[in-house]
Amino acid sequence: MAAMTETIERLPAVRAWDQTRAFATIGEAVWQVTLVDATLVRHHLDTYDAVMVGQAAGQRRLIEQTLAGLRFVRNHISPEARLAEFIQPGRPGRRQERITNWKWKPVPGPALASIGPHGRSWELTRYRAYQTHLADHSIGETFDRTAAFLNLVAASALSATVAGAHGGL
């Protein structure tokens, strides 16, 4: 949680003129968010589900789909900086622009020929989530939404763990 939070908090400080740092920080945020999400699901599923169910229906779908879209990004980026294929930097000449204003780009559908039926369905679901809930939306909006939810789950899980350790007092 701490690494994810620190990475997301760094995003507004990175400016458009430093594209190498910008893409590295966004890529790190993608990895951190998806890692924290998977860890919370794996180790605190009941709490995760309870917090998710506590969201308004529209917000719940938005969070679920945003996280699915980020998983799609994570599975398609590599150290060779393919992240640039997913990001539309701001307008040229705006070197002081915050990268949180950059937008996710619409991307072509994934190659599915070599993927089995289950994998194909998984890939298409995440691709559609990306196209609907990330493409044309800002980097800042995406990470603010996911971090708020994941921090809420983590706080609830910690509270439940502490209460359990003290006999529910």
pLDDT value at 135 more than 90? yes
Q: How far apart are CA 133 and CA 52, in angstroms?
A: 17
Residues 85, 96, 81: CA angle, nearest 5 degrees: 20
User: What percent of the chain shows pLDDT beyond 90?
Assistant: 66
Q: How far apart are CA 63 and CA 42, in angstroms?
A: 18
Q: How far apart are CA 127 and CA 76, in angstroms?
A: 11
Indicate the domain borders of the chain: 2-165
What is the reported pTM?
A: 0.88
- So what's the pLDDT on residue 163? 57
pLDDT value at 166 more than 60? no
- Chain centroid, CA 150 distance in Å: 10
pLDDT value at 27 more than 50? yes
pLDDT value at 169 more than 50? no
- So what's the pLDDT on residue 28? 95
